[in-house]
Structure 1
Amino acid sequence: MAYREGLELRARKQLGFAFRDISEHLPGAFIIYRADKEDDELFYANQEFLHMAGYKDMDELFRLTKKSFSNLIREDEKKKIEASIWKQIDNGNGNDYIHFHLRRADGSYLSVLDHGRIVENQQYGKVFYVLFMDWEDIKSHYSEKFSG
């Protein structure tokens, strides 16, 4: 079909980007994890996330978090944050937005804005794709939006 007469050349172009290209060059930290209240297994984190959170590599992330998303949340916020995520999803939203303190590899915490999206994956069932933004960076770049 792409070569039928009348179709423009623009429609024939194919993207030549592999997942790795996109994952490593997208300007944002992200993870993918199982969307299950009892089993929130981490599947993937891009280099931007590993750098933001201070993990050397995926093995260290998996070892220190026991492959669980909830282990990235500051202990005193876990119940509230998890309840907020599931309330947004249970209300029919495909996206959730939360602000919390992300546990870094060294045990310190980083204030982040988390934008998650729940999707059905053929291999893993329901999963969350989650983007993270450093809360202080957001405030410093958009301080006029937060001051009023």
Structure 2
Amino acid sequence: MAYREGLQSGIRKQLGFAFKDISEHLPGAFIIYRADKDDDELFYANHEFLHMTGYKDMDELFRLTNKRFRNLILKDEQKQIESSIWEQIDSGNENDYIHFHLRKADGSYLSVLDHGRIVESQQYGRVFYVLFMDWEDIHIHYSDKFSG
């Protein structure tokens, strides 16, 4: 279809990016997981997420979290964070925004802003695509822009 007569060359260029290219080079950490209140199975994390959280690879992430999104959340925050995410989704939003402490590979926690979007996947049903930003980095780079 990219080479159909009349299709503009600019559109052809857009079609040339593979998921792997985007995933590896997008300037942001993200994960994909099952959007189910009882089964929040992790499916994918990009390199930026693994780097930010110190996991060597997907296998280590899956092993240390039992492939569960909730196991990335500080235990004391899990119920409140999950409840807030689902309140936002159940009230008709396709996006959720939440601040919490994300578990790193070494067992320490990183304060993050989570921006999730629920979508319907043909293969997996409802899934969340979630971007993470380091809370401290946000304040370092943007706090002066908001004060004044």
TM-score (norm: length of structure 1): 0.93
Task: Give 1:132 deviation, angstroms.
Answer: 0.3
Task: Give 1:50 deviation, angstroms.
Answer: 0.3
CA change 1:146–1:123 in 2 (3 A) is same
Deviation digits for residues 13-35 of structure 1 (CA, Å, limit 9, x no counterpart) = 45211110000000000000000
Question: What is the distance in 2 between the residues matched to 1:62 and 1:9?
Answer: 41
Q: Which structure 2 residues correspond to residues 86-101 of structure 1 after superposition, within 5 A?
A: 86-101=86-101
| Partner residue, 1:74 | 74
Task: Give 1:9 deviation, angstroms.
Answer: 4.4
Conserved? CA contact 1:139–1:146, under 8 Å: no
| Partner residue, 1:28 | 28
CA change 1:14–1:51 in 2 (3 A) is closer
Conserved? CA contact 1:29–1:46, under 8 Å: yes
Question: What is the distance in 2 between the residues matched to 1:119 and 1:86?
Answer: 14
Runs of 4+ aligned structure 1 residues displaced above 6 Å come to none
Deviation digits for residues 38-69 of structure 1 (CA, Å, limit 9, x no counterpart) = 00000000000000011000000000000000
Paired residues, what number? Answer: 146
Q: Which structure 2 residues correspond to residues 48-127 of structure 1 after superposition, within 5 A?
A: 48-127=48-127
Conserved? CA contact 1:35–1:118, under 8 Å: yes
What secondary structure, in the 3-state scheme, does the structure 2 residue paired with 1:89 have? helix
Conserved? CA contact 1:74–1:102, under 8 Å: yes
Kindly, what percent of the aligned residue pairs are identical?
81
| Partner residue, 2:5 | 3
Deviation digits for residues 45-94 of structure 1 (CA, Å, limit 9, x no counterpart) = 00000000110000000000000000000000001000000000000000
Question: What is the distance in 2 between the residues matched to 1:33 and 1:11?
Answer: 30
TM-score (norm: length of structure 2): 0.93
Task: Give 1:11 deviation, angstroms.
Answer: 4.6
Task: Give 1:144 deviation, angstroms.
Answer: 2.1
1:46 aligns with 2:46: yes
